[in-house]
Chain A
């Protein structure tokens, strides 16, 4: 088992099935070149597209929410927006603000979990958050508080913390009173203060170097940070309405994977998620988040995916501050939802799941039953970028032993917070060298 020049080295990480997906890592190195860097992900949403056929338009938010226990709100939001487009309904004012508040809650809980429980241990050299907590009890305890604040927002607006039950096409089943936000406000303020303190801690981590010329893709809606509507834009000239998504993106079935990989037509891979939103929506960040980013040494553009851990915390801060602003301006709407009348139509929507854009498209018959459904989750869109990053990460670390190289690869994969990162303990490694 030598690893000299010209020898072939294979790094393989098999992965067991999980609720959100199944993936494996395979890297083949020959001498000084990376012959192959593959991430295999199997996406349950494919089955959901079939489950949805024949169901009523109003069932889509609750059915698709079941795709993920970490970002159910994203699935609900993309579903309701797509249905509303198909049915010619526009949700505005306080109902729209409440949806944003709910989404802020999900960003906060999802990001806080990923940053501190799943990703920070990589940077600090711990096997998991339990070990990290022994040496950094304050920061872990605070992170749990922040995450719990996100849960509390989702529960207050959505009815419960996971798989909310209060979201419907047209709005909500019930809208909270102003008084119901009273205690929540103090909790959010505390979480915001804690997060201001977390950002310098994260910026001080030993962050590996990696810069590539990415195509960043996110929503853009002037006047607000990318979240639940707008056009799709990129730093390479993309600027399209969501209805045109299928004209600009293609899903390709890669031989090594059961998942589909997405490409921008004519260009290739693209990156969605916190880094893309930050780079394309920097001007829309709330002042407190922009200030914290600047203090952490982040400029308006961040090209190093390992810095996503800091950017996620900046987004948490933004979401907490925006949540406060929404609560402060909240007035209970007279109706919890606008009236929706079924009709035939086609609807598309993208919203910004914590991990990046989540695309839904539905074709409805004249009774509002679903004839076709298409769902493109962010992890499959980032899959190709992850593979390209892996190639660079390995190339820069050819002298590493297998354990160190595997660690670097897993850390790089977690930059994207793919669903598979939730299951770090499920990863089993096999190394083959010839």
Chain B
């Protein structure tokens, strides 16, 4: 049972790089049967990268009113369409929500698809994550690792 983890972001725009930071953390000790990809732009053909996977995890930065930097949201994108403005801080015109909805239109969603949206604080030019966002990256990486292990052991 293959799993795919995809992080999206721009390391040159502060906390926007958190999706890629989570990928880095996972790759320090790669989970078994898991492919990890990082993208600077959301590719329209996102679904091509998870073809054949039973479980897919996407990680991106987000901004929402009233949330603290580093706040983590886990969305079940398999069952619930994402609002177009949920992950609006995409680095290009085609956002994560659009790529997922395009896959949904194509009936190309994997059996399990979850999105981790991590609240960012600063998206100014420059590298490096805010402390709260860096801590959230560690939490999310650990959570993804635990999820992948659980789904491996529960798989038939």
Contact = CB atoms under 8 A, between A and B. Distances in A.
B89 interface: no
Interface residues of B, number: 19
Interface residues of A, number: 27
A130 B41 contact: no
Given A130-B98, A130-B101, A426 B107 contact: no
A145 B48 contact: yes
Quick one: which of B40, B98, B105, B107 has the most chain A CB within 10 A? B105
A126 to B, nearest CB: 11
Give the secondary structure class of A's interface.
Answer: helix
A151 B40 contact: no
Interface in B80-98: 91-94, 98
Interface stretch (A136-144, A245-253, A286-294): A136-144
Given A144-B48, A422-B92, A137 B107 contact: yes
Interface string A5-28: 000000000000011000000000
B29 to A, nearest CB: 23
B101 to A, nearest CB: 5
Given A69-B92, A129-B102, A133-B105, A144 B41 contact: no
A128 B106 CA distance: 14
A298 to B, nearest CB: 26
Given A69-B40, A163-B40, A422-B92, A133 B45 contact: no
B136 interface: no
Given A131-B105, A133-B106, A141-B106, A423 B93 contact: yes
Contacts of B98: 128, 130
Contact of B93 (A144, A148, A425): A425
Contacts of B45: 144-145, 147-148, 151
B93 A426 contact: yes
Contact of B91 (A19, A128, A131, A134): A19
A98 interface: no
B44 interface: yes
A76 B93 CA distance: 23
B128 interface: no
Interface of A: 18-19, 69, 113, 117, 128-131, 133-134, 137, 140-141, 144-145, 147-148, 151, 161-163, 422-426
The 3 closest A-B pairs by CB, nearest first: A133-B105, A144-B45, A423-B93
